[in-house]
Amino acid sequence: MKVLVSDKISDKGVEILKKAGLKVDVKTGMKPDELKACIGEYHGLVIRSATKVTADIIDAAKSLKVIGRAGSGLDNVDKAAASKKGIVVMNTPGGNTITTAEHTIAMLFALARMIPQATASMKAGQWEKKKFMGVELFNKTLGIVGLGNIGNQVAKKAQGLEMMVIAYDPFLSEDRAKALGIEKVELPEVFSRADFITIHTPMTPETKNLINAETISKMKDGVRIINCARGGIVNEKDLYEALRSGKVAGAALDVFEKEPAGPENPLLGLDNVICTPHLGAATEEAQENVAIAVAEQIADYLVRGTIRNAVNFPSIPADQVARLQPYLSLAEKLGSFAAQTCEGGITGVTIEYLGEAAGLNTAPVTIAALKGLLTPILEETVNFVNAPFIAKERGIEVKETKSDDAGDYQSILALRIKTKDKERYFAGTLFSKKDPRIVRIDNFAVEIVPEGIMLMIYNNDKPGVIGNLGSFFGKNNINIARMYFGRESAGGMAISVMSIDSPITPGNLEEIKKMPNVLSAKLLNL
């Protein structure tokens, strides 16, 4: 079998592939057309971030069985196209955790003491001690947004510096926070209390522009902001204005909305901005570790058929795939839907298998549900291998129950999710034994196709709500693909879920929330 390495990786990774008996070609720097022309002969593809594995590339990959990313991010791979074609997509989660956390701490120090600016001044022949008066980290409050693997490592290192650490993470339970010695707070409190704010969340519709003019206005005067996560979480225009006004004393950025960031980016012209060209994972150790890991994973799969760290395929026996695949899809969709609608730290989840579902090999289905539940709000890639460990690490108790009775359905898969304040219930089934449907949300009977962009609204069951929504979407030229309704009782509380063909802006969402009889509105992405 043949493996193509299309991005530069450590020679140790290449040697591991060769020792496994695989023929390896290293062809870096190829243009998309060049990759498309040659990919058909390869069974494995090793990439980093430079190679874009688009649907066109995958369509041309006639023999490809596995794509392996030396690193965690997979924004450059069309995972849906790969899954549809039966190509396993792997990454190396955790390989960049330490190095990215260390880079964050390096940025923290450099920001506090203006080290890059002072270096540039001295190299220009100056000796400007007063100009570069810094601040201590000791006894300062570090606010961490997102306490996944990287955020956790940053917290540990900050505690070693005797900083006060507060953190916002909707999936972090109070008990887990106490065990880590971290004060769990809500996001507005992070903004109001922190002297330094560091971001460690994924880029999602909910986190895009999380740091903006409004949230910056709630921060301390002289706050300092660090972003080594994803570009776009910080609104660069709003940050620029806050840096110029002095509201924000300084910023340290490793990631940008547009990369490579060029001289046209006004942030690069400010003296109180420290920046690096996406170096969070750029250490010799990290690059060697991820190269070795991805090579071992690809060799294991191509030579021995063992799947590890797959983001689109669970480790299940081949003879069970056909029966389990629809349930895996249902479980992941149900988990993702639940995660995006629940509020507060999750402390427990019970997966209920009712009717025919009780006879399944439930282990991979439970993992699929956890993957769906954890993915929307974590910065690291959650996959079928690490989802149970992440849940355990975060203090989420996972249980399974089974019953032969599925009520009016042949088969039901349900999630009971416990938070500190309440319990939520989400149930789904398969139509025609293959098409996922959500059939219950708490006390509401519904029939929802869980896919695409969805708007979920709780409202009073009164005339005019649907008419107002229809007028709103028509006015904003947004097409409604499907609409679903449910209510507890006539005139009581109701639920409305709309599948829409394009996302709506935060301003649009606020407009909907202000409509008569609308109690809440939330945008979901499945």
Residues in contact with 124: Cβ distance below 8 Å, sequence separation at least 6, in sequence order = none
Secondary structure letter of residue 304 according to DSSP: I
In order, the DSSP letters of 240-274 are HHHHHHTSEEEEEES--SSSS--TT-GGGG-TTEE
CA–CA distance, 231 with 258 (Å, rounded to integer): 7
Check 113, 278, 308, 482 and give the catalytic one. 278
CA–CA distance, 485 with 470 (Å, rounded to integer): 14
Residues in contact with 227: Cβ distance below 8 Å, sequence separation at least 6, in sequence order = 198, 199, 211, 233, 234, 251, 252, 253, 254, 255
Residues in contact with 19: Cβ distance below 8 Å, sequence separation at least 6, in sequence order = none
Check 136, 186, 259, 397 and give the catalytic one. 259
Q: Are 82 and 21 in contact (CB under 8 A)?
A: no
Is 43 a catalytic site residue? Answer: no
CA–CA distance, 240 with 261 (Å, rounded to integer): 14
**Which of 138, 143, 139, 121 shows the shortest CA–CA distance to 130?**
121
Q: Are 203 and 231 in contact (CB under 8 A)?
A: yes
How many helices and strands, by DSSP H and E, does the chain display? 17, 22
Is 200 a catalytic site residue? Answer: no
CA–CA distance, 340 with 473 (Å, rounded to integer): 22
**Which of 66, 69, 50, 48 shows the shortest CA–CA distance to 58?**
66
Is 488 a catalytic site residue? Answer: no
Q: Phi, psi (5° rounding) for residue 495?
A: -125, 140
Q: Could you identify the residue written with the tokens 């023999």?
A: 63
Q: Phi, psi (5° rounding) for residue 424?
A: -115, 155
Check 43, 230, 394, 440 and give the catalytic one. 230
In sign, the C-alpha dihedral spanning 18, 22, 25, 26 is negative
- What's the alpha-carbon Rg for the chain, to the nearest Å? 25
- Which are the catalytic amino acids? 230, 259, 278
